[in-house]
Structure 1
């Protein structure tokens, strides 16, 4: 029985190494990107629901972008706070800001996709750049950097949406590591020609991509997925590229409690079940082999069965993952989380297991 477990463990390690050395390495060792400014017109789209405090802080940062031709579409999705009034003041203050007011619709109540659709239809520019209302760009060259990756063929650009660093917070390191790992995955798969998701905190595409598939209509009944389900549907090897220059990053305030972050991740995980079959399989296989690696290694070491071989495999796996993730962390300005890598990975593996189980017995709460 233990011999079979060892063989199974070797297979698990081999699969993990395939992910890290053949897939994730595509991003980890990618050359630095060149940002050649494009003379294209861009509509920055911000959808907000009860984001008055963030609107005051972040809209001016969008209005101060150093870009030659862009507009900002502010969408108020029937907010019950002062978001609409704040947006109206910004519309008066900045000539390139336009406001879209969304009223509650019985058929689409609380559906962010409906609000975004109205905003996209109102956009006058051919290229759309999305950011959440609780996010802000890292630099004044955010639009320049993201739009620079568009070409005649590449009409979808996947960006990185990071979280702010919080000093002396282990939870913050977990959140940022998980966000970094997710980005490494979708960046890497995009580079090998199998894009499967993007994030609404930093995402760009040509407007025609939206209308070619009738927008969100194929998954309008699913509350989440205005970003990843849409990209999963329309992204291909030919039309998708990535942007990972630091000037292109956006930042958000992270959750400060484990419960808040856990609830947020439940929403994200629930959306993945609607991905294409291949994407669901590769994501599930990666997570399953992570879980099995920890479990089988613990069993084999507990019985001290062929412990030299087991420890060698463990060490080699961690060496490879540390190198690949380390180079990736450097690109994404997240090097500090790597000091805690083995511990954070274990915490994440069992947190994800808890999330999967929780989602089986109850539905997560989405956009309100």
Structure 2
């Protein structure tokens, strides 16, 4: 007895044409979505195709129409709740428009990003949405082939100064400033800031820190600028020891916050600019036996599902993740359809949600 599973041959266009009583070319136009076919004939062909179980060959269709009806999405980390929410928005909008989505993750690596772009170009996707892994002033030569092939590109969540493409981002700077000002309003002046970039040495001053932004992700840089804006408006001196430079993982965030809490003049509040930074801060506080907000007030970035049900409920900056994804897909689909509108950056509003993790600073 053969161990190989026998395959039932897929119905062909000729068989659909015979069942519908029309020519192959008419079936090809109908199932390929191009050309002109009368509604009555179209209905008859679709009914015959459904009855026979016909599935169109997407490769053959792309050779005929020049389209694969597929969008490529390159994200930093598909396991991150923020990017998961964005991806849901992209997928919903793409599905409604009749497009499939291919998703690749870079783990914040420019090399993996370049490999992902190569895969999507080889797959002949109709457009690419990209959350860049590079800093805002870095060059991305692997995107040259995208431009040469005329493949529409939309940046999401992050900008790169050297890439001229549509973009959909959040007002990170204003949202960060609002969160820090909420802490300042409660009397906090020693405010820790836990963010993503890594440097070999702590910044000497605020100007030195701003120079680091050339190599930081745009979103991270904007959140830092919002923090500095809030301090400057309130007349609070900048203290480099209250800014941690950590990689995007919980373990490093925990170590960095433990170091911050060991200072002789430790922070009375912490603003964590992403989920891993927030969980790292919480873990560090637990290891030191500190309570929130009795000992330290805490604000996070992104309204994760657990933020409102933990004890205490966490104050956060909430990003419109699904809307960001939908708008990214809409911008990309418009370019795929041939839009020649000027390149634009669309900025969505984040909102600060005050809960119970912030209390007046101890005096």
TM-score, L = length of structure 1: 0.23
Which structure has the bigger radius of gyration? 2
> If each structure's helix is expressed as a fraction of its own residues, which one has the higher value?
1
Q: Which has the higher contact order (CA 8 A, sep 6+)?
A: 1
TM-score by length of structure 2 reads 0.23
